[in-house]
Amino acid sequence: MSWQATPYVIPLLLAAALSIGLALFVGHRRRAPGSTPFVWLMIGVAVWSLGYAVELASADLSTQLLCARFQYLGIVSVPVAWFLFIQRYAGHDHWLRRRNVLLLAIVPSLTVLLIWTNQFHGLMYAQVRADTGGPFTVLDVTYGPWFMIHTAYSYCLLVLGTLRLIQMVIISPRPYRGQAIALLLAAFIPWLGNALHITRLSPLSGLDLTPFAFTLTGLMAARALYRFGLFDIVPVARSAVVDSMDDGVLVIDEQSRIIDLNPAAAAILNRSVSELVGQPAAQVFASWSHLIERYRNVYEARDEIVLGDERRHFDLRLSPLHDRDGRLTGRLISLRDITERIRAQSELQRRLDEMTLLTEITTLISSGASMPSALNTVCAILAEFLQVPQAGFAIIDAQRNTAVVIADYHPRVPPLPRVSRFRSPAILRWSTC
């Protein structure tokens, strides 16, 4: 085994290190949607990049061919992991069922088998030789028919995943749109390099640019993790939010962050959808901290609450959200404005109370009790109904500009003066005669 010096090994090792670091980082968030296929995607990239680094550092054909075979463990897993990651990230969990994963793995498994037995059939590499025409020795192969099948299959998965991302870019609010764009760019660069290598249009003759491009992919993925909250903010509940609903709907994840909401909910909170997505619920509802404490660990409830300076009444409903495996992923909050209904009920109750009061007074007066006693009782009833400390009846003498109190109810205040003068029919000024 002999080795050769080449500067291209460094970016490949960097791509492998970045991929392993991202896999470890995301691996600690296994419950986040899309994290598992993303980990396998990064492991595949690391295997591909590391294998190609050793291939370029080697100067003999047998070692280069061995490394090329080793790379296929990563090469065949990257398209499948990418496709599954995008589907899971977009909330299409049915693609992660065991049957679908096994079906998707048929072509990659056959490819690995054929690359390790290529010397018997030549279906992957029809011809293999060492190209020594450049500054260092590289592996030069002529592709066989199964390689074309594998390539077409891989690009189909790439295209399907990319179309799903484009759809998310179009329909998603921020920061989902930023996440999707970052993932699109991260995927486009290495596959462009791969297309240039397969078609032999690469500006660096003999070099496969795909693993090099994964260095940029790793950097973009890292930026998406920190800038756009990838795996912290994921659009898994978008289908549960109907923008045309009059009710306010919010989706809270397990970290108590708002991961989705409709315009009605944003209007209730007097902020835009893009401002609220990704924000901690405790921060958004800071003005109603009592509600945060009341429902902090509550996943299912129904209550009436009051929000805002205008004292608007809402019917609050909390419902748990689960994924297809039954795991709890967050909460769905529904807010229905019932202010008008509450006001109508209050007005109806007020009118009923007035009718009851009039009936009670009429019954009292017609009961045969003495007029002074009846009037004093009526004063007590009126004071209680109006929730005032004192009530009374007076006869107004407009010519003398006086008012004579004929009944009075004053349990906790001084009694009204029996005779008072007033300056106008609208404003009375009591004074002892």
> Domains (ranges, CATH) in the chain?
9-227 (1.20.1070), 238-337 (3.30.450.20), 342-429 (3.30.450.40)
Highest mean pLDDT among 54-58, 177-181, 271-275: 54-58
Q: What is the mean pLDDT of residues 121-125?
A: 92
> What burial letters (b/e) apply to 105-120, b meaning 16+ CB within 10 Å?
eebbebbbebbeebee
Beta strands in 225-307, from DSSP E residues, in sequence order: 248-253, 258-261, 301-307
Return the biggest CA–CA distance within the chain. Answer: 128
174-178, 278-282, 314-318, range with the lowest pLDDT: 174-178
Distance CA 257, CA 280 (A): 4
Q: Is 53 helix (H, G, I), strand (E, B) or coil?
A: helix
Q: Select from 96, 93, 115 the least CA-distant residue to 105.
A: 96
Contacts of 357 (CB under 8 A, 6+ apart): 381, 382, 385
30-39, 281-290, 334-343, range with the lowest pLDDT: 30-39
Q: Tokens at residue 241, please?
A: 């939010």
Quickly count: other Cβ atoms within 10 Å of residue 152's Cβ: 10
Q: What is the mean pLDDT of residues 92-102?
A: 77
1 pLDDT band, cuts 50/70/90, is: low
Q: Select from 263, 314, 309, 259 the least CA-distant residue to 281.
A: 259
Helix intervals (H) in 6-105: 9-27, 35-57, 61-75, 77-89, 98-104
What residue type is 433 in one-letter code? C
**241 near 262, Cβ under 8 Å?**
yes
Instruction: State pTM to two decimals.
Output: 0.57
Rg for the chain, CA atoms, rounded: 39
Higher pLDDT pick, 306 / 233 = 306
108-122, 138-152, 352-366, range with the lowest pLDDT: 352-366
Distance CA 104, CA 431 (A): 97
pLDDT, position 225: 60
| Strands of 419-422's sheet in order across | 391-397, 402-409, 419-422, 428-429
Q: Which helix (H) or strand (E) holds 429?
A: strand 428-429
Helix intervals (H) in 280-427: 281-284, 289-294, 339-365, 371-386
DSSP codes joined into one string, 357-393: HHHHHHHHHTTT--HHHHHHHHHHHHHHHHT-S-EEE
